[in-house]
Structure formats: structure tokens, C-alpha cells
Structure 1
Amino acid sequence: MIRSEQKSPFRVYRGATIDRDEIEKLRAGTLVGSNAFFSSSFCEEVAEMFIGTDPLAAVSPCQSPVDRRQFVMFKIDVDLNQTADLIIADVSEQSNFPAEKEILFGLGTTFIIKEITYDIHRNLWYIEMVVSSEMFELKQEYTDFVHGCLKYTDADTLFGTFLSGRSSDYPAGISHLQRHLRKMKFNDPNRANVYFYLACAYRSMGKYEHAIEYFHRAKLLQKGLSSQSSYAYADTLSELAATYSLLNNTAKALSLLKQAVTLFRRILGANHIDMPLYYTRLAYVYWQEKQYEDAHSLLLTALSIFKEDMTSVFAGLSFTKHTMGLVKHALGQREEAISLLKETLEIRRQSYGDDHPDVAQVYYSLALIYADTDDKRIAFQYAQTALNIYQAKLPKHHPSLKRASELVERISSYQRESTLPQSEFHNVQE
């Protein structure tokens, strides 16, 4: 095997034909992966044979860098000391053509692009890459996360939460959790968890009354049991508060959140890495009530905790940055607000993909800020993007979908008539 033979870093080559559209998507610094076994060679000349390079003129069959079909030489650097999980083999001895010195990468191998250049004399793209273990690390982190979750809930409940949370397939998540609930014994210790996650899924669909009902059911089962249930009880108070916040019942939300924060401080400590979520929720309600200085102070506390411990906090960090962006805008600090919201957008796109409702929330917030200025074209683009995501992911009567549709119409109306009423922020609570 190659691992026992190669102790020092080495380079292999792969020649390929790629559509121009795919070339344009590649950028230095991005992570790419193979969706099949990935063949390469120790010999650059062999890789050029697969491109079809003219052996006399030493140019590829391509005529220009704008042709639909482009010819690419991949140069791949491998350091087995840095990628202990890499599956790679020298299969030249098993090949019918041993002179090709074929090296085979395993399914799903990931690479980081270092540099992309185009040789105008050879009509050939050169893409330098290095093998990456990043996906292995992410997989390991995800596995550890799942194992951690399974300490407190069962696999069926966890699957339902992933359907409605990560995949944003809320009807499927609710259907799965309801089936699971029907099969449960009445005294099943996981019943409160199912109620809790059903409530979260209903809230994401805009069915707030259903959400409140299931949060109350969970709360009744959790109250006064074990220390773990005390944590779960506090979490349910916080989520119930977030639901009332979405209904603009800020008095109820504030009361519940203060109870939750008090409990969490007692259970976890004031500077625990989980605390920024609850500080941010409280800050969000202060923002709703126009208590901007109180909100700003809490958010600074949350950010200071994140600064001390940056392990696995992207989702929570994005919520805090998003809320801080709203507060900064309310305080008249427009550029800082836009910068924070764009940072939030990038974090959420990396975490959830481009079509998740949480991503749409940030587009909507950015649209509102730009709509309050002369940048109506940019505002329209952000608003339309938010609307497109909501239309694809949310029920047709969802409040977020309605607000995004109204914002698109208002901006369009202004562009047509140059009369846009002053916009106001609406709830974008996670």
C-alpha cells in the first residue's frame, strides 16, 4: 500500500475535461470533494494523455478559455502525515497498464484548491490542490454531536428534529414525531422531548398556537424532576418565550426569558458557552421594546463569551451577530449593522446551505436596511432572494412569507412611483 511506501509528501496529476460553467464555480481556498473513486497518476505525461494534448504542439484541443468544454490539469499534493484518514492506493501493479502509475483516491476524498491558472499558450487550466482532512474532522465532530444528543433523547426523536431543523422539511419532521408519539407509552421518559421538538417544528411553520400548546405539555412533564430535566425545563421556558416574542407579546416573552436566564445561570454559570443564546434572546426582546442600550449590553456579554470559547458555536454566534446588527441599525450605526448582517449571512450559508429559512431571515433584514436608503435596487435583490427561499420552504400563509412578499411589493412600488413608505423591522427571531 502507498502509505507504507511514501513517507514524504508527493504530487500526483489528473487530466480532465470540464464544462466552462464548472470552472467558473471553482475558487482558490474552497473545499471540493469527489463523488466517486478519483484516479490520478504519478506521471504528468500520463495525465496529459487523458486530456488529449497534441504531443507535437503541446497544446490541449481547446481553442479558448470561453469554449464550453475546457481541459484541466489537476496537480494534487499529498502529505500522508497530515491526512491519517485518507484512503489512497497505488494500483499500478493491478492495472492492465502498469506504466500509467495509477494512484486511486477513495470515495468522498476532499481537497482544498490552492491556485487556479490558465496557460494561454497551451489552452490549458492548471488547478493546484492539496488533500484535506477537513471533512473527516467535520464528520467526527458531527458524530460526537449525535452521540451527545443520544444521551438525552432517543434516535427517533433526534431524526425528527433533523428533518425539521437542518433539512427545514417541517411537515416531514412533524409527521415523523407525531408517529413516534403515537407509539410511545404514556410514561415514556422521552415524551417531553417529543413535545418540545414538535413545538419547535410547529413554530417554524408559523403555527404558533400549536407550538405554545406543545411547549406547555413539555413544561408540565419537565418541571421538578431531575437536574437534567431542570435544564430541559429552562430550555422550554426560553423557547416558549421566543414563540411569544414572534407574536409580539413581549411582556410574556420577557417574563419567561428572565426566569430561564436565572435558571441557566444557576445550572451552568453566567459565562458558560450555552449562555449567549439566552442572553441574545433576552436582548432581542429588549430590541423589540426599543430598549436598545440594554440589548446592546447583553449582546456584548454574549460576544465576549464566544470570544473565549469558539468551539462549535456557529449557529449561536450567527443569532447573536444578527441581533447585534438589528440593534446597531436601531442605534443609527448603519455600516456596522450591514457588516454584522453580512457576516451572519456567510455563517448561515455555510451551516445550512443557501435555501434555509434562517438564511432568508438575514436577506430580509439586509433588504430592510437598504430599503431605508437610496439603495433600492440592492434592497429589492435581498428582499426577492428572501421571498424565493420562503416560498420554497414555508407554508403559503406563514407570517415571514407574507412580510417578505409585502416588502418586495413596497420596494417595487417605490421603484415604479418613487414613493416608498418608511419601512420598519419585523420579527426575525430564530
Structure 2
Amino acid sequence: MMIKKDLDRLKENIGNLISPNGFFSTSKDLDVALIYASDDNDELESILFDITIDRAKLKNTSKIVVADIEHFSRSPDEKEVLFGIGTICKIDDIFQDSVLQKCRIKIIVSDEALEHVQKYTEFIRKELEETNSTRLFGKLLVELGQYLKAESHFKLVLKILSKNHLDIAKSCISLGCDYRESGNYRTAVELLKEALMIREHNYSGRDHYNIATTLMSIGVTYTYLGDYENALNFLIQALDMYQRLLPSDHPVIASALVKFGNLFEKKYQYHDALIYYQHAYDMAEKILPIEHPRLLEYFQYIINIYKKINRIDDAIQLSNEKLAHYRQLLEETHSSIVQFHIIIKDLHDSNEQYLSNC
């Protein structure tokens, strides 16, 4: 079953790549698949995914994890096939099957852009390494909006575990991020610094991804607080450590550069902000598929700076150039191209308003 809005989004992306953010399974038996497909209702549409694996067209089959688990399953009659996390598929066609009375989505397993998905998978793996059942329960409470219960849960964890236990650090980070989201930046900083001390103690001063992430979180929180000197100090430490730990073209580094841009933008140092935003965008453009939403996010940061320094004509020219590039690679109805049209229209509206005020 699929929300009809999501189905429309898939229809706009025929020919593009998709990658589920977890494991997924299917059946080799059409009748079994139809049982799980259910029937349409007012909000959801019944979907049947038709998955093809053409090994002759795959260049890197060793990186694609697909397992026939029929003989290992408790329900062998389901003839289940399991696909690994990070599996990439190309949307080949979407049509209404008049015989089955289902919407069929034909997808083909692909090895295109595999390196980008692998980087994302590695990021997810690191996230999962940080999560045990105690931490997961607290995180779930936060995501459900049960902030008071989450706070009580994390405080209980602090009492149960030893002072330098890594789960204390994880709980401090979750609670700190919770306080940051609610606008209590000073308390958030205190909790994040507590997490940093615990992690530095456990990792014996060595460079570690989790330490870099904590440094970055503290820097971002100081930015919200308006303490730009401390913010810059922690952001620099985080970026330096990321650069020692990760490949130079890693998406996490691009994301870190955006945080510098955010800081300088808040300080009204728009020239410096533009440099960091541009650097982040250029890096992301090299490593992410053109339809990746983060590219548009970073591009929007650049456009916003152009607007703030009254370089709207330059912003329009740049946006038109990017739109022309996107049109060479994507269908006109693709959401990214639609978004560029919105950006350009907004710029023209802003330009007219600016000229009328001169």
C-alpha cells in the first residue's frame, strides 16, 4: 500500500534511481505478493512492485546483496527473497494492471551510483552502532514528541550507568538535542559537553567519528545561542577531525561546510557564508546524484545569500544555468526542475520588489 501522493512522486521520477533506507523483501510467487498488496482505499493505493535482476547488465554484482531465503524461512510457502540495505533500483515503468486491478511499478536492480549509497549505508551503520535498546527507547520517546517522558528516561539512565559509560554520552546527546530544539541552548551545550568529555575519555584522545559529531553538535548549538566565537572554535575542531577521518569528498564534510556557512550568515558575514555554501555545493555536486534533494538545499543557501546582498540578477543567471543543466539530464516534470522554476520565479518577484523600492 502507498499514499497516493508518494505514488505521484514516483511517477514523476520514472527513469531515476531509488534506494530504500533499509532491508526489504518480496516473493517469487505472484499469488503471495497479491495477498500482501491488499485493496485500494480513499488514502492508499494498492501497489505491486515488479522487480527485475538482470545480471548481464550489472557491472558490480559482488556489491549487490540479494538472498533467496525460501529454505530458511519459517514460512517457505511465501518463497521470500531478501534485498540488502542500500539496494539501488531504477524505476522502469508505472502502469495500471487492468487484469490484476493493481498499480504495478516495474523496477530494475541497478549498480549505478553505488558508491554514494555505500557512503550513506556506512553512515547508517555508524548510527546503529550507537544505538542499544535503552538508547533506542529514549530516542523513540523524543521522536514521538514525548519530551518530558524522554527527559525522565534519560535521567534514569544517568543514575543507573557508571559515570563514563558511553550510553551516558548517547543519552546526553539525545537530551541535549531535545533541549536545543526547544530553544534551551545553554542546557543543551552543557549536556553536549558532558557527552564530549565521556567520549574523549573512552576513546583516549584518539580521533573518532563520534567525537567529531559531538564537536559539530556543540558548534551548531553555540551558533543558535549567538556565541559565535565558541561556535567557530568547535566547528573548526569538528571539521579538522572529519578531514582526518573521512575521504575528502565525503558528504559529511560537505554538510559540515554548510554549518560554517550558517554561522557566518548569522554573523551577517555574507561573503564568507557564500564561500562555504559554494564549497559545500560544489563538493556535493560531484558526489551526489543530480536528483538528490541535498543539492537543491545547498543551492538554496547560495541563492538566499545572493538575495541578501542584492545580487538578484546574478542569482537569476546562476539559477537559469543550473536549470539548463538539469534539463539535459532530467524530465521536465521532475521535481528538481519544478523546484528550480519556483526559485527563479521567486527571484524575479524579489527583483521587482527591490527595483520598486529603489
TM-score range (shorter-chain normalised) is 0.5 to 0.7
Q: Deviations over 1:171-214 (max 9, x none)?
A: 26545433432321123244333323321222123332321221
SS at match of 1:271: coil
* Match of residue 326, structure 1, among 304, 311, 323: 304
Structure 2 counterpart of 1:242:
220
Matched, 1:284 2:274: no
Structure 2 counterpart of 1:306:
284
* 80 and 375 in structure 1: CA distance in 2 versus 1, 3 angstrom threshold: same
Q: Does the 8 Å contact 2:90/2:109 carry over to 1?
A: yes
Matched, 1:212 2:189: yes
Moved more, 173-182 or 272-281: 173-182
1-structure distance, mates of 2:126, 2:191: 24
Matched, 1:191 2:180: no
Q: Does the 8 Å contact 1:73/1:127 carry over to 2?
A: yes
Q: Does the 8 Å contact 1:238/1:256 carry over to 2?
A: yes
Percent of pairs identical after alignment?
Answer: 17
Matched, 1:129 2:106: yes
Structure 2 counterpart of 1:202:
179
Matched, 1:85 2:57: no
Aligned residues: 287
Gaps of 5+ in 2: 35-41, 59-63, 71-76, 324-338
Q: Does the 8 Å contact 2:166/2:198 carry over to 1?
A: no
* 75 and 282 in structure 1: CA distance in 2 versus 1, 3 angstrom threshold: closer
SS at match of 1:129: strand
SS at match of 1:115: strand
1-structure distance, mates of 2:47, 2:200: 63
1-structure distance, mates of 2:90, 2:110: 10
How far did residue 270 of structure 1 move?
9.3
How far did residue 24 of structure 1 move?
7.3
* 211 and 317 in structure 1: CA distance in 2 versus 1, 3 angstrom threshold: farther
* 183 and 306 in structure 1: CA distance in 2 versus 1, 3 angstrom threshold: same
Amino acid at match of 1:306: A
Amino acid at match of 1:85: V
2-structure distance, mates of 1:254, 1:177: 29
Structure 2 counterpart of 1:40:
30
How far did residue 78 of structure 1 move?
3.7
Q: Deviations over 1:126-147 (max 9, x none)?
A: 856245479xx99998875454
| Higher-helix-fraction structure | 2
Amino acid at match of 1:114: D
Q: Does the 8 Å contact 1:157/1:194 carry over to 2?
A: no
How far did residue 371 of structure 1 move?
12
Q: How does 1:405-420 map to 2 (within 5 A)?
A: none
1-structure distance, mates of 2:220, 2:243: 21
Amino acid at match of 2:177: C
* 157 and 257 in structure 1: CA distance in 2 versus 1, 3 angstrom threshold: farther
How far did residue 291 of structure 1 move?
1.5
Q: How does 1:145-294 map to 2 (within 5 A)?
A: 145=123, 147-149=125-127, 153=130, 155-156=132-133, 159=136, 163=140, 167=143, 169=145, 171=147, 174-222=151-199, 226-228=204-206, 232-261=210-239, 263-264=240-241, 267-268=244-245, 271=248, 273=250, 274-294=252-272
1-structure distance, mates of 2:295, 2:273: 16
2-structure distance, mates of 1:307, 1:126: 34
Q: Deviations over 1:106-154 (max 9, x none)?
A: 488898653346799x9x88856245479xx999988754543465x45
Structure number, greater radius of gyration: 1
Q: Does the 8 Å contact 2:212/2:238 carry over to 1?
A: yes
SS at match of 2:92: strand
How far did residue 335 of structure 1 move?
4.4
Q: Does the 8 Å contact 2:189/2:218 carry over to 1?
A: yes
* 321 and 157 in structure 1: CA distance in 2 versus 1, 3 angstrom threshold: farther
How far did residue 223 of structure 1 move?
5.3
2-structure distance, mates of 1:34, 1:20: 18
Amino acid at match of 1:271: S
SS at match of 1:159: helix
TM-score (norm 2): 0.55
SS at match of 2:259: helix
Amino acid at match of 1:245: T
2-structure distance, mates of 1:22, 1:316: 21
